[in-house]
Structure 1
């Protein structure tokens, strides 16, 4: 007998959850800060902002920069990132995990702090177009942890919050899920330390893509 689904909609963060890009984003934030002459954030501080929208992330990374210079900082970040984005790939096992969920007829979504341009380029570069049923980016709705992007995806597919699962590697992702009334899973191989997830009561903390795949196969 086929096990009934617990969740109809499974939504993933992108960077650090499906895409092995945490180190690159951290280095690009640091390089952009150096370019505009502000203190370079530590690895920990630079990686903390991953998952936020670009503007919010750069505001946190360079709090002393004059507001009118944020576009300059953003442009320098994009310069560094787009020059090296070909270096990063999906975590090993990601496609198999997604295909397993599709086979069980889950709706699959993405809720990311990336821009629409950035996500579309990433989806194209790893040949994932058609795998996800719906996606939302920070520049077309609201930045995490505002629940809007997750709420919009639930509304798009007519899925209630209790039938929705958010998977992400940062506290911003888990707070997003909590704000939307959805369940969450934290992944411990991305930007934030797993110890920070405890207060958000995720159903599970996966320490590898294999761990995530196995949990979803058994419990989603």
Structure 2
């Protein structure tokens, strides 16, 4: 049996955490006496590792200030998530859970994650949504260079033993699609996330809902929809 690997980004792809992300970023900047980034600017960096994200948002700042902003963001994120709970602060997009469960039921399909989240953040999300045992490989920002470096996907392929031609990366940002291209795997961009679809030029397909995603997977990996 030839195994296939479907790798998902998380924020903006599986769950809609933009409210939590924006609030945490605002708290971090305000804690340093700085004007908070615009909503568009904050959403533009979702998917990047936090150190890279802060550099992109505030390139003129010194390294120590950016480090404090990273810590402030983490603190604000954890605080707000604890207050509201995972299901409310990072709800699934419509159809996401159902598609995950259907894909998981195939004997020849493995599921993975490649996210800019920390290990702690991903573990909390998996626990909060009851997704334990669903993903066989989980790649996080703690262990890799920031997207779009291909390290996350390369490691996921190595851990599962799946060839690049039998894998796909699903995500909502240009970082996800550029990472997929750099790793030599097909990229499927989603239109409901945080980057405009016009930015997903490296994607093999761009879909607008989870029903269409299953159809695209059927074409790319010959997974029956």
Q: Same fold (TM over 0.5)?
A: yes
Aligned length: 214
Aligned to 1:160: 163
Check the 8 A contact 1:33/1:62 in 2, yes or no: no
Matched, 1:15 2:16: no
Matched, 1:117 2:120: yes
Aligned equivalent of 1:197, options 186, 196, 200: 200
TM-score, normalisation: structure 1: 0.90
Shift of 1:158: 1.1
Aligned to 2:209: 208
Structure 2 distance, partners of 1:53, 1:171, is 14
* Equivalent position SS for 2:154: helix
Shift of 1:33: 1.6
Aligned equivalent of 1:25, options 21, 24, 35: 21
Shift of 1:152: 0.5
CA RMSD in angstroms comes to 1.8
Gaps of 5+ in 1: none
What are the superposed Cα offsets for residues 4-53 of structure 1, whole Å, 9 maximum, x if unpaired? 98x70110001110011123213322331222123322221111110011
Check the 8 A contact 1:30/1:46 in 2, yes or no: no
Check the 8 A contact 2:17/2:90 in 1, yes or no: yes
Check the 8 A contact 2:168/2:187 in 1, yes or no: yes
Matches within 5 A, 1:88-103: 88-103=90-105
Gaps of 5+ in 2: none
Matched, 1:52 2:48: yes
TM-score, normalisation: structure 2: 0.88
| Structure 1 stretches of 4+ moved >4 Å | none
Shift of 1:98: 0.9
Shift of 1:75: 1.7
